[in-house]
Structure 1
Amino acid sequence: MYVGLFFQAHPLVMTLFMLLGFLAIIASTVIYFWIGMLSSKAVQVTCPECNKPTKMLGRVDACMHCNEPLTLDPDLEGKEFDQAYNSKKKSKDGE
């Protein structure tokens, strides 16, 4: 939006930059609202490493305090930490 102020002599260009800035503000508001709604649905657990409460957003996540890998799925216990476990698509090798 601020770039539009440099083009005050050209109203069409100024309006274009103002609209682009306005759309960017609307998009960021929607994204922050979406992330807030995801956070409100998160499961709160206590990290076994640092004993602080943290939120889990998927099948696997990391503690927000100490980055300890966490899971609530008993099938993933002891496996290598991988964010791909949060994906709904199955891997080729059947894991």
Structure 2
Amino acid sequence: MSSELETAMETLINVFHTHSGKEGDKYKLSKKELKELLQTELAGFLDGQKDSETVEKLMKELDENGDGEVDFQEYVVLIAALTVACNSFFWES
């Protein structure tokens, strides 16, 4: 039986790979795949914002190596940043 943290880690990995590889490199998210992931998995994050502008900004910030795609490590940076923000909002409020 997996712990809550192990289950959460497995979910993060599965979400990434569910959306990556639909086009291009199967181990990276294209801009289109990133947008789809955000819309299906983090809909509240895009709520009230223009999807294309948000995705463009995120892609630019996350794509550290400049290849036009988001690899797993770059994806984890996004998840970590959002988690820190949520922690601050929910636990420090």
- Which range, TM-score by smaller chain? under 0.3
Structure richer in strand, relative to its length: 1
The TM-score, its normalising length taken from structure 2, stands at 0.26
Higher share in helix: 2
Higher relative contact order (CA 8 A, sep 6+): 2
After TM superposition, the score normalised by the length of structure 1 is 0.26
